[in-house]
Amino acid sequence: MVPEFATQLLNDTPLYQGAMILIISLLLSKVAPLPRDYQPIVWFGFLAKELAAKVNRPGRAPSQQLIAGTLACALLVLPFSAIMTFLMQLAAFPWFFEFITLYICLNDENFNQTAIEVKQALSREEKGRARSTLSPWLYRDTRQLSEVGIAKATIEKLVTTPVYGTVSTIIFFSIGGAPLVLITRMLKQLELCWPAINPKFTHFGKPVYLLSTLFFLIPGWLWNISMAIQGGPKSILSLFKPLPNNQPFYNCIHTCSIAASVLNIELGGPMKFNGTKIDTPRLSYGPKPDGESITSAIKLTNVTYAIWLFFVISIPLIWAGLRYLQG
């Protein structure tokens, strides 16, 4: 029985190798993340901003802006994804490039540390320092954020980052390997750099927004369920509660709503982009958040992350156990 089991394990080597790549990438992105200034996805975002500055003309017809946004997206995403796919196909050790790709795409997973620094700054009443710490991570105005606004923005970033980080990496790596993870992560970075909720990118950013909505619908839904089960029946029921959203270009509103329900706080509300105030729904499930609410949000995301990590570790173990019983 043992020799047959060993043979079955060898036949399933791709499964176990993929699981190991995924697990190590998830853990390393948490314990040893790259400094933000050295993250390739951040560099990609800078490139996206520079390209948008040259080709995005809000004064032009909406159809021209849509075409410009579509072409800019293709110009940025297709070459990089083609190069990485080509390298993985030719490399003697493709697992190494897969690991590097996943590790790079999980760069925002270290936002927890930034959230802790923001919370500490708020506890010392250093709002200026809290704003400057948070600013590189957001694509909205932060200069005039109040303490409540800083706490809201930090919590919203905390609870939405894993949708395009941990969860999407697990799902897309399982479906299409590292190239699909890279493509979807680049699309999400473009959406963050060209947010369609920002009047400057209303039409230019719409193609990327629609693609991002399509790709991250299931990861977002699964992450929401993972959080909702920690809040009891009320939070689970809120999964099916429609939200009055008068700003359709706001992908993370449902995730923020679930988080607000679990944490019993208020999230959402007005945002500012380039000095323009944009109204978004207030997600009121309790009092306005403060520094302690950030701590609660960190615990919520850590527990949910642990649930997903346990899932990833369990799958190959369960499969190996079934193989052993069959043998």
| CA 126/CA 270 separation, integer angstroms | 23
pLDDT at 157: 94
pLDDT at 298: 95
pLDDT at 155: 95
| CA 40/CA 80 separation, integer angstroms | 11
pLDDT along the chain (327 residues), means of 10: 57 77 91 87 94 91 93 94 84 86 89 92 90 90 90 94 94 93 95 90 92 93 94 85 64 89 91 86 90 93 94 84 71
Closest Cα to residue 114, out of 131, 139, 126?
Answer: 131
| CA 307/CA 183 separation, integer angstroms | 25
| CA 99/CA 95 separation, integer angstroms | 6
Q: Under a CB-based contact definition with an 8 Å cutoff, are residues 111 and 29 in contact?
A: no
CA angle in degrees (0–180, nearest 5) for 194-135-155 = 90
For the full predicted model, state whether its pTM sits above 0.75. yes
What separation, in Å, do the N-terminal and C-terminal C-alpha atoms of the chain show? Answer: 6
Count CB-CB contacts under 10 A for residue 114. 18
3 state SS of 326: helix
